[in-house]
Each structure stands twice: as structure tokens, then as C-alpha cells.
Amino acid sequence: MNTRFSELLFSLVLALSIPIAALAHTGNKEKPTSPPNEDSSVLFKNANVFDGESDSLQSDVDVLVQGNLIKKIGKGLTADNAQVIDAGGRVLMPGLIDVHWHTTYAYTPASVLMNNQGDILEVAIRSMTGAKATLMRGFTTVRDPGGNSFAIKKLIDSGEYPGHRILPSGPFMSQTSGHADFRSNLEIPANPVDGLTYWEKNMMVLVSDGVPDVRRRTREILRYGATQIKITTGGGVSSLYDPLDVSEYSLAEIKAVVEEAENFNTYVLAHVMTDKGIRRSIEAGVKSIEHGYFASDDTLKLMKKKGIWLSPQPFEMDDNSWDDPESAKKWRKVVAAVNNVYTNAARIGVKIAFGTDLLLDAEATKKQNALLVRLGKWFTPFEVLKIATSGNAELLEMSGPRHPYKEGPLGVIREGAYADLLLVDGNPLRELDLIANPDDNFLVIMKDGKIYKNTLK
């Protein structure tokens, strides 16, 4: 076993395998151990810039990166000792953001997690490796809506290992028979003496019932370092005990979670399918609806009025396959509802976010860029790119002081913003399909001022 891999394994054992109570003392206090070199600089020359906000390009400009931030944007810029990259008229744009990316579920096979045949070390190693692959597709930031990605985040932020930024939600939480309940029927009725299941102990999921219990669990998740809280309030495909028509958690339980999150100056996102579950979630104070495929027009209008975000996924039938016949049946219903929810949400003017929710299959994660391009069925290329950059960044800002990346804004090319940048061979404002092939079309990938890919050398 080589030294570097041994260091990684030791770090993951330390951060993911020890009991929750012990790790919680340091969970939200970790600081990067190797901050960006403030003296390093990169100068992009002759770029056409999509800034993440404007529907037209800034033509033939230079962008100076100093340390991990964008220092200056203009024409004819110079900088002593800077690494110069001649963009040659290509498009420089912000790094992409995925607000529904399960860092520790995406690259882990279903047999490991769903069938309880693996352990947290296998999950962690697969996830750490996968984080680099995600970055190399141009996704420089993700909001993780469920799972234990805290150690992965720490190692990436420290600069020790390549990967995307992470805003972690910690374990997603549901009621008994909800979307986070993966126990077998042999474990029901549950015996309080038995304590937490293996995946609960390792902060991958949590089953919690009743107002006092959901309050306590929410506080534990926040203590661990979550930047927002994820609960499930109605229906699921991968889960076996919650049909798509059910609503989960009482109004009082959801309100209790929201209150605890707001006490920490952050917010709650909810996995929910049913119209009833969406409305109950909104009434309780949830700010981001994940999936929401069966939302009625009246509910979408309510979401627009209250400024609630909607994060569906543009799934097609071949994006997932399910061994369980009930999950396969539910999947077909979800896919059939995709066009309707996007069409109606766009017409009504709901705030749309982009997240992929690709799960349990490393090969499937390669569709991440293709799913973004699919939004072109309902939006213009500019609208798609804005959603995946400055739009998603706006959603992430709801984490308030819990947001871990506060030196500058994300998702934009602006002086003082984070230097998360992609140099694209072509103009994605005209040819959105360019985004679907990052291997060939993303010539430079920079995150936090560091170049991870440069084929122009």
C-alpha cells in the first residue's frame, strides 16, 4: 500500500468511522490546512466571457486570478510572474453547480448501501475518488442533500485531494416507513434498546419520529457541521415502504425541523413528490422542494409567490434501472411527470434549480453534464447556463452564515468572486450541447484559483 493511499485511508477512517458523539466535537470546526497561495496568479488573455448573469458575452477581455479570487477584469491586463493562458477567443465561464449531488451515494453501488453489504470505508474511498471525476466534468460546487460527506469536504477544502466544493446536509432524515428507512422487516417493530443502525451511526441516514426526536436529530446534524437540513416529506422511488402518493411527517414535525434550522440561521430542503406533501412542507417553512414532480399549478403558483425553489431532475427512462418491481413501477410514473413539471414551472415562473440526483452507479454519474443539457427542452441556452451557475449559487446563499465559502460569490465571473472557471472550446450560449462533452470541450478547469486541467499547454 503506497504512502499517499495510506494517508487517505487513515483520514477517512478517522473522520467517518468514529462514533457520532466523538466526531461532533470537531465536525464544524475544521479549517483548510493549506490555503491558496495568495501570491500565485493566472492571467486569462483574449477571452469571451459568460459571467453567469448576462445573456451576452463580454468580448475580448482579460481575467486576472490572484490566489483563489478573481482580481481584475478588463482589456490589456498584465501581471508580473503570472501564468498566462491565451484563451484565443474561446468562452470563459463560471464553474458549474449541482444542487442535488449525493457525494457518498453517487459512486457507491446499490449492493453496498441498499442491501447493507458494504461499510463506510468502502463508501468513503469510492466517494473521494468520485469527487475528482465530478470536478473534471466542470462541476466545481455541489450541494449534498444526504449522506456523510464531511470528511470528503475537509480533505478537498484543505487542498490535499482534488474535488468539488461541498455544502453538506448530512444524513437525510425521514419518519418510519419514509424515504430514509432502509431497515428490513425483520427489524420492525424497532426496539429502542437496539439503538441506531449501522448507516445511521455513520451519518448516512436517520429515521426519526415525533417532535422531540426530530428536534434532537436536527440539532445533532447541525452540530456535525451541516450547512442546511434535508428531510423527506412524501414518496420515494429507491425506498421500499413509501409509495409515491404518500405524505410524510406531520406539520408539527416539519415545523420543528424548520425552527431548529432557522435557529442556526439556515434552511430546510425537502425530498417530496406529492402535491399535498409539497404544500405541507411550504406551510411549515421549507425553502427548497426537491423533485416535486406531481405539483399542481396552484402549488407552483404558491411557490412563486413565496419564493420557494424547485429542484426537479430531467430524468429519462434509461437513466436508472431497478431490480425491485415496485421501484421500477414508481420510476416510470416519475419519468412520465418530468415534462409536465418543467413546462408548468417555467410557464408560472417558479425559481428553478439544477440538480442531478444520480445514485448508486459510477457509470451513471457520467450523465451529469447530459442532464444539464436536457434543460434545453424547456429553457434557452442562456437560461440553462444561468440556472447552473449564478442561479444555483443564489440558492446556496440561503445557508447564510453556515455557507462555508464566504470569501467571494460563487457562480459568477466578477471581480472579487471565487476563481472557479471553465474555458470552453466553443460558445455554449449558441451550442448548449458543448457542455455534454467536458472531456473534449472543457480545455481548462480551474477551482479556487488552482488549475486542474489545461490542454492548451
Q: Note down pLDDT in tens along the chain; length 457 residues.
A: 454 544 555 455 444 444 433 343 334 444 443 445 566 899 999 999 999 999 999 999 999 999 999 999 999 999 999 999 999 999 999 999 999 999 999 888 777 776 667 789 989 999 999 999 999 999 999 999 999 999 999 999 999 999 999 999 999 999 998 887 777 766 777 767 678 888 889 999 999 999 999 999 999 999 999 999 999 999 888 777 888 899 999 999 999 999 999 999 999 999 999 999 999 999 999 999 999 999 999 999 999 999 999 999 999 998 887 778 888 899 999 999 999 999 999 999 999 999 999 988 888 999 999 999 999 999 999 999 999 999 999 999 999 999 999 999 999 999 999 999 999 999 999 999 999 999 999 999 999 999 999 999 7
Phi, psi of 360 (to 5 degrees): 65, 20
CB neighbour list of residue 224: distance below 8 Å, 6 or more residues apart: 20, 23, 24, 27, 28, 150, 170, 203
- Residue 91 inside a domain? The answer is no
- Residue 84 inside a domain? The answer is no
C-alpha cell at 222: 447541525
CA 157 to centroid of chain Cα atoms = 16
- Residue 108 inside a domain? The answer is yes
CATH number, position 118: 3.20.20.140
Domain range for 372 is 97-378
Rounded distance, CA 47 to CA 57, Å?
9
HEC per residue, the chain:
CCHHHHHHHHHHHHHHCCCHHHHCCCCCCCCCCCCCCCCCEEEEEEEEECCCCCCCCEEEEEEEEECCEEEEEECCCCCCCCEEEECCCCEEEECEEECCCCHHHHCCCHHHHCCCCCCHHHHHHHHHHHHHHHHCCCEEEEEECCCCCHHHHHHHHCCCCCCCEEEECCCEEECCCCCCCCCCHHHCCCCHHHCCCHHHHCCCEEECCCHHHHHHHHHHHHHHCCCCEEEEEECCCCCCCCCCCCCCCCHHHHHHHHHHHHHCCCCEEEEECCHHHHHHHHHHCCCEEEECCCCCHHHHHHHHHHCCEEECCCCCHHHCCCCCHHHHHHHHHHHHHHHHHHHHHHHHCCEECCCCCCCCCCCHHHHHHHHHHHHHHCCCHHHHHHHHHHHHHHHHHHHHHHCCCCCCCCCCCCCCCECCEEEECCCCCCCHHHHHCHHHHEEEEEECCEEEEECCC
- Residue 305 inside a domain? The answer is yes
- Residue 250 inside a domain? The answer is yes
Q: Give CA angle at 389 (384, 391), nearest 5°.
A: 80
- Residue 407 inside a domain? The answer is no
Exposed, middle or buried, 48 (CB in 10 Å: 0-12/13-18/19+)?
A: buried
C-alpha cell at 243: 409509495
- Residue 212 inside a domain? The answer is yes
Phi, psi of 136 (to 5 degrees): -75, -5
Q: How many structural domains are present in the chain?
A: 1
This prediction's pTM: 0.90
Under a CB-based contact definition with an 8 Å cutoff, are residues 422 and 389 in contact? Answer: no
